[in-house]
Chains A and B, each alone.
Chain A
Amino acid sequence: MCAMQRDVRKVVVLGANGAMGAGSGEVFAAAGIPTVFLARSRDKARQGMARAEAMAKSEALGRFITLGSYEEDLEREVADADLIFEAVSEELALKREFFERIDRCRKADSIVGTVSSGLSIAAMTGGRSASFASHFLGIHFFNPPNVIVGCELIPHAGTDKGVTAFVADLLRKRLGRELVVTSDTPAFCGNRVGFKVLNECAQLAEEHGPAYIDALLGPHTGRAMAPLATIDFVGWDVHKAIVDNLHALTKDEAHAQFAMPKYMAALIEQGHLGNKTVDMGGFFRRVGKGKEAQHFVLTPKTREYVPAAKTPTPDVARKMKQLHHVGRYKAAFDVFAEATGPDADLMRRVILGYVSYGLMRVGEVVERAADVDRIMGFGFNWAPPSVLVDVIGARRTVALLEAAKLPVPRVVTDVAERGGKLFDEPTVDLGRFFQGK
């Protein structure tokens, strides 16, 4: 079918009570597309609708939403839907059960998308009809989708090209997404690049301690949240699932950095999952609330929590923050590039490792440097690798990468030779990525 003739007049969301289901449902409904929220029960679907309304801060959103349960409504609702959006738990067997039911009742030209953040898209089409497979792709929103506009679109080898083009257009124009089309490779682009850095930080925490790592590699290095606080926020179980998957399925220059630290695996067994297990904690644990709260920090070597002492900010980090505070970002990265000593060496190793690993994925996972930049900037709220290259200076970046014995991505060598800037999103303020606190 010609992509031009398609329209999306009805969306069905499965798993609409969960964070990603309700959030994605909000995005469809907010665009004025009639959206059916399906869950195990109608009550659960109603909870999802309330979540979506709270995200939109509007009860007016509800007029685009109808409710149903898998048992009573799935077949009827899917039958005339133009887009079926799966957001059930991240378990292949469960997803396949739903896909089998959808395959039996969907109309021939409807599109089926999965919000999966790590499973192989091609593997999910196993046993499905040719029509299902050619209309199936990954639509990876980031949490919470109403706020974070970065989005990955993942066609598998058998996805119809017209379907991919149509969904890309829908996501960009109607749903306001900052879209990246990626290969169907493990964890796609954002999580592959992001969790390489996060897990490297978790590994380093074993020797240096979590407080030091977050102080050294915090928001002044180009991120909204410090790395280990991010893992606590995401959840240790989710972190483990993603890095174990990447360790098993990739064999690139960062293979060692995808090895899950043993201390984390052991603590997960004891129920430490980060912020979602408040009493157990993760890298950090808070006991009590507000001013009464007591803060503890993990000692990875002993697997014990000790009261959080005020960790002195490493000098290189303190200087960078002071310069960011007054908007002197280039001067801050002069400090980054030129500071001497073990703190600066470690900071450069991780940050330049991110720049290198991210831009080395060009040609493998995505087509252009701008794709890595977009998903790291709009999905992770991290300074995109190209922004760091520009703010450090391309020639100096090449020299620093070589000194750190990291692969030098072709795009960086090219821009160092020809001059000019690597980051190509003129409407994005670069300063927003660098925090002065």
Chain B
Amino acid sequence: MEYFIQQLVNGITLGSIYGLIAIGYTMVYGIIGMINFAHGDIFMIGAFVALISFIIFGLTGVALPIILLLVLIIAMLFTACYGWTVEKLAYKPLRGSFRLAPLISALGMSIVLQNYVQVAQGARVKPMQPLISGGLEFFKNSEFVVTVSYLQIFIVILTIILMGIFTYLITKTDLGRAQRACEQDRTMTALLGINVDRTISITFIIGSSLASVAGMMFVLYYGVIDFYIGFLAGIKAFTAAVLGGIGSLPGAMLGGLLIGLIETFWAGYVSLEYKDVAAFSVLIVVLIFFPTGFLGKPDIEKV
């Protein structure tokens, strides 16, 4: 039982990270109908920017909460630039091209970003000392002590705050309305005087910023990153987006949580080596049996 609760806590933390990445996939898919294959690598770049800023601020000796806030803002800003540029360079010229063209272009972009970081930052893994240590302990009298670290609490609370802000943005503001309109009908939205190009750019910026927050959490949580983390994390987050119903924002978060839980429980109870197989199998099973996911709208193909 205690072991189960510990896995649950770990799963929720991991799920928050996946959920934040999954939002980027689901938003882009909703608005331009393509799988942004390079999104995982945007997350990786966010993790690197966060790592670099942690090292720089670590030298200044500022208080920890201020460092966290500064790193968060910096990572979001710089990573958003990457998202914006990738969209402008690789996807915008391909709107209206045949369906697989943007996917292949995204694949190329993903290879470019990975190898660019490998060249610029070196291929070796980058370790970082834990910044937030300690935690709360439960069930102290039993055999297995459940530990909820402050870091896990921080990750989950930050995710909840960001989700709150984000939901407000999408449901209540003009920007969100414009985005939802673009999802439904881009031509009609343009006729109504909304700058569609700008709305799509902003979608990429928001998606990348959230991915960079996930990247920062990843650095803090695992303490080790390399240029290759984006690939697996990206695939899992995409699975999460599909599981929750691609195009649906609450779905992305729910899917992220589920994937995080499945992965931790699989690693905890079944087999550690095959934990990535679990994520991929879930992806295949979900796509075959519920292609629309849990909260997605059915997709009707028209002639």
**Are A and B associated in one complex?**
no
